[in-house]
Amino acid sequence: MLLSLSLGFLGLITAAKGAAQHRFKTTSSPNVPAIPTVFESYDAGLFTPLEDLDLLSAEVYTTLRHPVFPKHSVRIKKSTEFCDGTVNAYTGYIDILARHIFFYFFESRSNPDKDDVIFWTNGGPGCSSALGLFMELGPCRVQKANATTFNPHAWNENANIFFVDQPIGVGFSYADYGETVGTTEEAAKDLAAFVAIFFEHFTKFKGRSFHMAGESYGGRYIPVFASEVYDQNTYLVEAGMTPINLTSVMIGNGCTDEGTMYRSYYDMQCSPASVQPVNSITSCVLMRQMVPRCEKMFKESCSETMDAINCLNAINFCYDAVFTPFMATGINPYDLGKTCEGEVADNLCYPITKEISAFLDRADIRKTLGVDSSVGNFSSCSDHVSARFSANLDFVFPTQYYIAALLERGVKALIYVGINDWICNWVGNDRMTLALEWAGKEAFNAQHLREWQFNGTSAGLTRKAGPLTFATIYDAGHMAPYDKPEASLELVQRWLAGDEL
């Protein structure tokens, strides 16, 4: 969710700016598991699904396995009492040999046996999904370290939902011997395998509409993760398994195409695109002169050629052109209508993040959740994870290509943005959706932004054609479900129901 300016997207650029060398890695191997060639053992009883979540213990983990994914397993237990006692909750680890990814799972408050399933991840890269869970859209919110409060606008009102601490090293996730991943494409493989194993064991979820959602750096994560799930379906069918009914991606305040963002950073601080201009005329005039060169350098060296040395130079130049002037203002980069409360590097401008960390460091909460004893103090975001992704220039990849490919295959996409966000702003996301190369581009671009209504008032702007919807949320920043919980839930419920805004 949270794109940390100290550890997330700006952190990536900062790390790139100060690094002496970078290596850009691509994944040349197929993004799907190797499927065993003999399946008669599968039919002969090698795999028996657990079937019922009620069979899980609240005291010890139950381990789930599947022969098609020999390197992956899932540990899961009941953990109902720590949050919203009105629904069943479960926690556990996705185990990939010596790597272990922590997750939460909450059943729907309405009809868990029929409602859709949502996968949620935070951004960063390196920020824990506990922030999305306990600050924004989860069934309970942490106000103080010693208590939680019921969230009436939680996204599990009409959906079952996962919150996943990924990749390795984020939140309660850990590795036995320092194993890591350093690109989004690498991380995608483990999550796709997890989804398949979970659905095969708890067969009541088979065929359900599955939505992959995320915030901030989730604009990079989610299109890649969803593409992995989609591509993996071919292999699931070959193995005699049920494919995942991937229905949509939902990206909130995402940074998907950095190339479209640089000019937008100028627009958001030097024009009334959201609030009145927040930077001086002198700074804005200088930025206006530098932005075209920044865009040209980034396009030629990063998004088109992935030339690590020249891309680093482009990032350095763009950072100085648009980031440095903004950070000097002291304004909250996640909400242009506010000043930063505290320090970005300390609490992300939101003191509540400290309360969440204290809550998750309580011994009783860790016992209830089943957190491994080797995990140290909880941290909202990880420097180490951010640095690994930065070293691979993961964030410069034009991830909009994945969105276009999903749209061409009938997977819907909702791009929603709190209108006051600066770091992954609505202007940049609007430009990204308009520039997407897909069959519905002409129809989408022909639509004008119009207001969508909620409770008789305007809630934001929207544009839609076919499977693609773009929407803004008024008076909301980077964490839209935190700032405008009612409107955000309304947007998601309409999306799940297939209703237009």
pLDDT tens-digit series, residues 468-489:
999 999 999 999 999 999 999 9
Does residue 291 share a domain with residue 176?
no
What was the pLDDT predicted at 303?
85
Residues 81 and 170 in one domain: yes
- Per-residue pLDDT of 253-275, as tens digits, reads 999 999 899 999 999 999 999 99
pLDDT digits (tens, 9 = 90+) for 377-408: 999 999 899 999 988 999 999 899 999 999 99
Expressed as residue numbers, the domain containing 284 is 261-331
Amino acid at 377: N
How far is it, in rounded angstroms, from Cα 278 to Cα 267? 10
Q: Which of 417, 411, 432 is nearest to 488 (CA)?
A: 417
Is pLDDT of 16 > 70?
no
State the Cα–Cα distance between residues 390 and 11, nearest whole angstrom. Answer: 8
| Domain final residue, candidates 315, 331, 347 | 331
* Both tokens assigned to 302: 């990063």
More confidently predicted of 111 and 391: 111
Of 73-87, 211-225, 302-316, where does the model show the most confidence?
211-225
Whether residue 477 is found in the same domain as residue 416: yes
Separation of alpha carbons 381 and 221, rounded Å: 16
Which residues are catalytic, by number?
Answer: 216, 421, 478
For residue 169, give the 3-state DSSP assignment.
Answer: coil
Indicate if 210 and 269 belong to the same structural domain: no
Q: DSSP character for 207?
A: T
Q: Is residue 386 part of a domain?
A: no
168 with 312, same domain? Answer: no
Identify the H or E element spanning 451. Answer: strand 450-454
- The reply to whether 202 and 305 lie within a common domain is no
**Distance of alpha carbon 59 from its chain centroid, rounded?**
30
248 and 289, same domain (yes or no): no
Of the residues 300, 315, 331, the one at which a domain ends: 331
Task: Examine the domain organization and report whether 255 and 274 are in the same domain.
Answer: no
Domain annotation covers residue 366: no
Q: Which residue carries 């420097």 as its tokens?
A: 383
Q: Does residue 481 form part of some domain?
A: yes
Structural domain total, the chain: 2
- Whether 305 has a pLDDT exceeding 90, the answer reads no
Nearest-angstrom CA–CA distance, 204 and 107? 12
Question: On the CB side of 83, how many CA atoms lie within 13 Å of its CA?
Answer: 30
Helices marked H in 370-476? 383-391, 400-408, 426-435, 441-445
99 in Cβ contact with 78 (< 8 Å):
no
DSSP tag of 119: E
What confidence tier does 18 reach under pLDDT thresholds 50, 70, 90?
Answer: very low
Give the percent of the chain with pLDDT over 70.
91
Residue type at position 384? H
Pairing of strands 116-121, 174-175: unpaired
- Evaluate if residue 33 carries a pLDDT over 90: no
Beta strands in 336-420 (DSSP E): 412-418
- Determine the 3-state secondary structure of 245 from DSSP: coil
Q: Are residues 44 and 173 in the same domain?
A: yes
In a domain, 308, yes or no: yes
At 12 the pLDDT is 52
Report yes or no on 3 lying in a domain: no
**Torsion sign over Cα 404, 405, 410, 415:** negative
Asked if residue 339 is part of any domain, the answer here is: no
Task: Find the CATH number of the domain harbouring 287.
Answer: 1.10.287.410
pLDDT confidence band for 347 (50 / 70 / 90) = confident
Please give the average per-residue pLDDT across 57-61, as a whole number: 95
d(C-alpha 445, C-alpha 262), whole Å? 21
| Gap between the Cα atoms of 238 and 205, Å rounded | 20
DSSP run (H or E) holding 473: strand 468-473
Answer yes or no: do 94 and 225 share one domain: yes
Q: Is the pLDDT of residue 44 over 60?
A: no
pLDDT at 2 over 80: no
Helix, strand, coil fractions of the chain, as percent rounded to 5: 40, 20, 40
Nearest-angstrom CA–CA distance, 62 and 60: 7
Are residues 222 and 87 both part of a single domain?
yes
CA dihedral (316, 320, 321, 325) positive or negative:
positive
Final residue of a structural domain among 314, 331, 348: 331
**Given a cut of 60, is residue 5 above it in pLDDT?**
no
Between CA 138 and CA 489 the distance in angstroms is 11
Strands (DSSP E) contained in 4-137 are 62-65, 72-78, 89-96, 99-106, 116-121
